[in-house]
């Protein structure tokens, strides 16, 4: 039996950083330009939405309350809920990050109302949500 030592080919890896998204972790892809083999390393967590900023009641009277907040560049919209009858009820959902206000009408004078707002982001077929921020107001 004849055996012969082969010279090592030597790997020459090209590194590509793949950024994390709201759907998938990020990583570094190492691909050999000599043989085509590859592996991944240095995984990073998926992106997480933050919170709505500067939520405040800007107008109120006995029949309505207006909520406003700062526009977010992270989300693609917002979700607003009102606490009614012992549970949270969605009263508004938008897919526009530029729509940063909501007027809630047909309210009862002298009543305290609690609202919460969170960011939402549609990424492919997945919807991600940020944390809630609350506001309380009395008509």
Domain contains 7: no
Same domain, 87 and 24: no
Residues 129 and 75 in one domain: yes
In a domain, 114, yes or no: yes
Residues with Cβ < 8 Å from 35, sequence gap 6 or more?
Answer: 9, 11
Based on the domain organization, do 62 and 112 belong to the same domain? yes
Identify the burial level of 87 via C-beta atoms within 10 angstroms of its C-beta, where 0-12 means exposed, 13-18 middle and 19 or more buried.
exposed
Under 8 Å CB-to-CB from 14, ≥6 apart: which residues?
A: 30, 31, 32, 33
Measure CA 21 to chain center: 10
What tens digit of pLDDT does each residue of 82-121 get? 999 999 999 999 988 888 999 999 999 999 999 999 999 9
Is the pLDDT assigned to residue 1 strictly greater than 70?
no
For residue 1, tell me if it sits in a domain: no
* pTM for the structure as a whole: 0.73
Residues 63 and 131 in one domain: yes
Do 40 and 60 fall into the same domain?
A: no
SS3 (DSSP) at 12: coil
State the DSSP code for 55. -
Q: Same domain, yes or no, for 40 and 70?
A: no
- Both 37 and 82 in one domain: the answer is no
> Is the pLDDT reported for residue 5 higher than 90?
no
Structure tokens at 74: 């992270």
Q: What is the pLDDT of residue 19?
A: 94
Q: How many CB atoms lie within 10 A of CB 65?
A: 22
* Domain interval for residue 40: 13-44
Q: Could you give the number of structural domains in the chain? A: 2
Closest CA to 115 of 86, 131, 94, 136: 136
CA distance 49 to 118: 9
């Amino acid at each position: 039996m004849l055996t012969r030592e082969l010279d090592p080919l030597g790997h020459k890896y090209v590194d590509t950083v793949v950024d994390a998204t709201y759907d998938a972790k990020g990583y570094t892809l190492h691909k050999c330009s000599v043989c085509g083999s590859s592996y991944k390393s240095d995984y990073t967590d998926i992106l997480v939405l933050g919170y709505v900023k500067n939520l405040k009641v800007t107008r109120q009277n006995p029949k309505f309350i207006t909520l406003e907040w700062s526009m977010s560049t992270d989300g693609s919209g917002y979700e607003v809920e009102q606490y009614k009858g012992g549970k949270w009820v969605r009263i508004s959902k938008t897919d526009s990050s530029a729509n940063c206000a909501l007027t809630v009408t047909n309210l009862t004078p002298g009543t305290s109302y609690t609202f919460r707002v969170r960011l939402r982001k549609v990424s492919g077929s997945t919807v991600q949500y940020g944390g809630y921020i609350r506001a309380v107001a009395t008509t």
